[in-house]
Each structure stands twice: as C-alpha cells, then as structure tokens.
Structure 1
Amino acid sequence: MRLVMLGTGPFAVPTLRQLVASSHQVLRVVTRPPRGRRPEAPPMQVAAEQLALPLWQPETVNSEEAVAELQSLKPDLLVVCDYGEILKPAALAVAPHGGINLHGSLLPKYRGAAPVQWAVLNGDAETGNTVIQMTAGLDAGPCLGIDVLPIDPDESAGTLEARLAARGGDLVLQVIDALAAGTAMPIKQDRQQASKAPRLEKEHGAIDWSRDAQAIKNQVRALDPWPRAYTSWQRGAGEPLRLILHRTSVVSPSPDPAAAPGMVLEAGPRLLVATGAGALEILALQPAGKRVMDAAEFLRGYQLPVGARLGT
C-alpha cells in the first residue's frame, strides 16, 4: 500500500521504522511543527530525517491547501499515531481506505491524549494497543486490531509507554495487510464503556497523603517521567522544601495505623510515611534543585525527623 504517516511524538517512531522496513511504501511523514520558545525537532521529524523520508510540517493538516497536498500524493491509507491534531472528514477522505490510528489503550477505555498514564494512575492490571478506523469522533472509530499487554505493578508510565510503542508496529502492519486483502473485520466500540484520558497537568502531581498508599504509589508511577509526583516538607519557618518522588513501595499494614497522613514514621535506614491506609516507603526522591538520590543518601544530607509532616 501507498502510505502517508502522520505522527509527532516518540510513541509513533517504532511504527514508522517498521512500516519503512515492510513491503509498503511510505510516501511522506507528516508531523506537527516544532513549538515553544526554544523549539526542538519532534521525535518523528528526527526519525524521518534519519530514514531519508520526505517530511512535511503543516500548521494544520485540515486546511484546504493541506488536504489538496495530501490528495496529490494519492495515498491508499493514512496511518496516524501520536500526531496531535484530529483529522477532519475531508482529510480522511483523501485515501480510499481512509485513516487508521494506533492508540495506547484497550478502547473504548481511555480515549484521549494520556491513555497510558491514566491506566497506571488507576492501578489497572493490563492495557494494550488498539488500531481503529478513524472517524470524526475522538478515538471513537471501529476497532480493527487489539493487542493486550499486562502492566508490571512497579513499572512507570514511561516504561510502559515504551513497551507499547515497541509492539505497535506489528499490530499496525497486521491491520494494513488485512485492509489490503479485504479481510479486516471492524468491531464497533461500546460507547457505554468509554472513558476519557485527558492530558495530565503539573497539578496532578501534588500528593494527597490522606489517600491510600497504593493509590499514591500509582500516582508516582503514572507521572513518571512527567510531570512527576511531589510533596513538600516544612522545615522550620523557612520556605518548604519540595520533594519529587521517583520510586516508592507500599508497606501494609502500617507500623502505626493511627498516625496522621503525611507523618514520617521512620527516617533511617528507610524513609516511611503514613498515608490514609497503609504506609509508603520512599525509595528514591529528588529535593528541589538537586539530583535524584536514594532514601538513605537523602537522610544523610537532610535531617528529616520522625514525626515531621509532609504535604500542605
């Protein structure tokens, strides 16, 4: 098939590499333009340049000019992943087979920009990739292929996302081959089972110690590598010290079930904090402006006493 791939972020890169290595022809790679005060080339731009593929970065792929450009390529199929803009019907109509999208969740669960993070945040035991036929709705089209993957209870969202990305290309190729052969079997999504996965913001990182220890551990995992889970330690009358949590472990039952949430229960050799249910052991953390360190190293440099309270 003659393909145009639209993608911007790192999740799409492994799929692009597999498409290039397949029997299909990648006519062009479309990415969103670099943004920000110090714009950097997005991962898909870097990959396209490494693979010597034609690259195009329109401000919007839905303009009349962009749609006409897509039509001029005469693609059989648009392949979309981690692109950053919803394609309107006119753009999808340029290819006889329309567009397919690789999404990092078991749709209809977690429609939106952060499906992997929300799966970890909610403590799900499994997730996966879904390839859908694209429609006007957000991640709402019929499913063409599903690949289920267990979630390790200690892995971060970043690690899980990388595993899903590495597997996505195989699923996309299976769907493309089925479309080419006319054997694809679309399965309509159950709208009653749909849930949303909006992009996480920095505010999601603030730890509420009244929640149970497992929920806080999931928060730490889900917000790794960004925006990170954090708490604060009020040291005397000065400014509170922000502590970014990198790795944690659940201790249940708590050695002091009556302790107030956020209270430091142990401060050597391990760092143990009371929560709303159970206790949380902080294994690795990062004081503001410093590097990541394990709990023992932190406690050697900072005199955090038993009985101190973390949080607001």
Structure 2
Amino acid sequence: MRLVMMGTGPFAVPTFEALLESGHEVVALVTRPTPTPKGREKQSLNPMRDVAVARQIAVHAPESINTPESVALLTSLAADLLIVCDYGQILKPAALAAARLGGINLHGSLLPKYRGSAPVHWSILAGDATTGVSVIHMTPRLDGGPILAVRETPIGPEETMPELELRLSTMGVAAVLEAIDLLEQWDGTSPIGTPQDATLVTKAPRFARGDGELDYRRSAVLLARQVRAFKPWPGSYTHWLREGQQPLRLIIDRATAEPAETASAAPPGTVVDVAHGKLTVMTADGLLVVTSLQPAGKRVLSAAEFLNGYGLKVGAQLGPAPVVEKL
C-alpha cells in the first residue's frame, strides 16, 4: 500500500523504520515543526525527521495539519493509509479523509485505558501489572476508534517510563503491520475492528512540571512509582530544607519503597536513615529509599556520593520549599 507516516517523537521511530523495510511504499513523513540542533547541540528534537532525511524520504512539517492547505497537501500525496504515531496533533475529519482508507494510530496502552498523551506514565503510576499497545482505526474522537491490533506485556517491578516506552515502541511494529494487512483486505464499508467499551475509558493527560514534587503524605509505594513514571518528564523532585540556608532542590533519580519495621514518630519527609549508601525518608506509609539523586546544577550522584559530599544527616527534613512572598 501507499503510506504516509505521521510522527515526531521517538516512540514512532521503530514503526517508521520497519515500514521503510516492508513491501509497502512510504511516500512521505508528516511531522511537527521542530528546530534542528545547532553548534554543539547533539540531541535532535525530531528523530523521525532524522530517519526520513537519512533515507531520502520527503518531509513535510505544517504548523497545523487541519488547515485547508495541509489537507490539500495530504490529498496530493494520494495515500491509501495514514500511519500516525507520536505525532502531536489531532486529525480532524477532513485530514483523515485525505487518504483512501483514513488513518491508523499506534497508542501506548491497552485501550480504552489511558486515552491521552501520557499513557505509559499513567500505567506505571497506577501500579498496573501489565500494559501494551493498541492500533486503532482513527476517528475524530481522541484515541476512540475501533481496535485493529493489540500486543500485551508485563511491566517490570523497577521499570522506568523510558525503559517501558522503548519496549512498547518496538512491540508496536508487529501490531501496525497486522493492522495494515487487515485494512488492505477491507472493503471500506463493513464494520472493522473491535469497538471500545466507553464504560472502561480512563484518561492519561500530560503532566505539568509542578506535578513532579514528592508529597511525603502519600505512601512510599506510590512515591516510588512516581519516580519511575516521571522520568525524564516532569521528573520527581524535593527540597532539602536546610536550617539557615536556602533549600536545595534534589531531583530523585532512583528510589524504592520499603515497609517501616517499627512505628515512628518522625513526620513524613524526615530522613530516618543514611546508612549503607542509602537515603531513607519517612512517608505516610512506609519508607522511601533513595539510591541516586541529582542536586540542583550538578550531575546525578549515587546516594552514597551525595551523603559523603553534602553531609545530610538523620533528622533532616525534605519537602516543598517555602513560598517567598514578593513585596
């Protein structure tokens, strides 16, 4: 089939590369406008564009995919099917209608669970035992189309968002190819795929920077999940409330939860142990054991390196920085 790939972020790269090696014809990449690295910058903000340029695939980056000009562009490509993944814009009916069979979308959850832009984050944060990918035949409703293909996988007990997202992006390749085969045989009018159960829909909206602050009034289990789920964005952070000094912002890189063996009178956020190269903090339920962290403006340190270099002691308090009122 004649395909147009639509994607921007790294989640779409394995699918794009697989389609370029398949028997299908990928005629163009449609992506979001993003700056190219300059000077000493090395990390691209658009890995999909990098793949397309390397493979000499035409690249189009409209500001909005739903303007009459963008719809005309899509129509001119005469695609049988749009392949949408990690693109960053919602396609309205006119854009979807620009391809003979419409579009399919690879989504990083087992729909109808976690519709939205942060499904992998939410699956880890919720403590789900399993997750997966779904390929849907697209409709104007966000992530609401019939399901064409699914792949399921367990979530590792210490798996972080980037680690799980990478696995899911690779798993998605087979699901996308299965969906394309299904549509290639479709008559264009018969019902196709499995309708989503609207009663099971949950949302997975994008997080804001402030969502990353650790709240020790929550359980250690939930905070450990947050640390795994919020890498790299929005990150999980706290402040060391140093007496007589400015609070020091600490980004928590790795942490686990342990039960508190004995009852403690220490309030949530209190450092209760610094032995054995670990920074252990009391929460409302259990202990958060930090094994690596990043002081503001510094590199990531093991907890042992941080404790040796900064002299944090048992009894220190972690929590939100006091709000300074402006005069």
Q: 1:255 to 1:246 in 2, by over 3 A?
A: farther
Counterpart amino acid of 1:289?
A: G
- Deviation of 1:34 after TM superposition, in Å, equals 1.0
Identity of aligned residues (%): 50
What TM-score, normalized to structure 1?
0.96
Spell out the pairing of 1:148-167 with structure 2 (5 A cutoff). Answer: 148-167=152-171
2:302 to 283, 287, 294: 294
How far residue 254 of structure 1 moved from its aligned partner, in angstroms, is: 4.0
Q: Which aligned runs of 4 or more in structure 1 are off by greater than 4 angstroms?
A: 35-41
| Residue pairs, 1:1-312, within 5 angstroms | 1-34=1-34, 41-182=45-186, 185-269=192-276, 270-312=278-320
Distance in 1 between the 2:227 and 2:15 partners?
Answer: 28
Is the Cα contact below 8 Å between 1:5 and 1:16 reproduced in 2?
Answer: yes
Partner of 2:323: none
Is the 8 Å Cα contact of residues 36 and 45 (structure 2) preserved in structure 1? no
Is the 8 Å Cα contact of residues 254 and 279 (structure 1) preserved in structure 2? no
- Figure out how many residues of one structure are paired with residues of the other and give that number: 312
Normalising by structure 2, report the TM-score: 0.92
Does 77-86 or 42-51 show the bigger shift?
42-51
Give 1:47 deviation, angstroms: 1.2
Check 1:281–1:289 CA distance in 2 against 1; reply closer, same or farther (3 A cut). Answer: same
Shift of residue 148, structure 1, vs aligned partner: 0.7
The CA deviation at 1:70 is 1.3
Q: Determine the C-alpha separation between the residues in 2 that align with 1:231 and 1:69.
A: 48
- SS state of the match for residue 132, structure 1? strand
Q: Which consecutive unaligned segments of at least 5 residues does structure 1 have? A: none
The Cα of 1:185 is off from its aligned counterpart by 4.1
More moved, 39-48 vs 270-279 = 39-48
Query: Which secondary structure does the structure 2 equivalent of 1:124 belong to?
Result: coil
Give 1:216 shift: 0.2
**Cα distance, 1:292 vs structure 2:** 0.7
Task: Give the Cα separation in 1 of the matches to 2:37 and 2:198.
Answer: 40
> Is residue 260–residue 286 contact of structure 2 (8 Å, CA) maintained in 1?
yes
How far apart, CA to CA, are the structure 2 residues paired with 1:250 and 1:121?
Answer: 14
Superposed CA deviations along residues 81-116 of structure 1, whole A, max 9, x for unmatched, are: 010110110111122211000000111111111100
Tell me the distance in 1 between the aligned counterparts of 2:264 and 2:25.
62
Deviation digits for residues 46-65 of structure 1 (CA, Å, limit 9, x no counterpart): 11111211111111111111
For residues 51 and 70 of structure 2, the distance between their equivalents in structure 1, rounded to whole angstroms, comes to 22
After TM superposition, the structure 1 stretch with the greater mean CA deviation from structure 2, 27-36 or 72-81, is 27-36
**Deviation (angstroms), 1:175:** 0.6
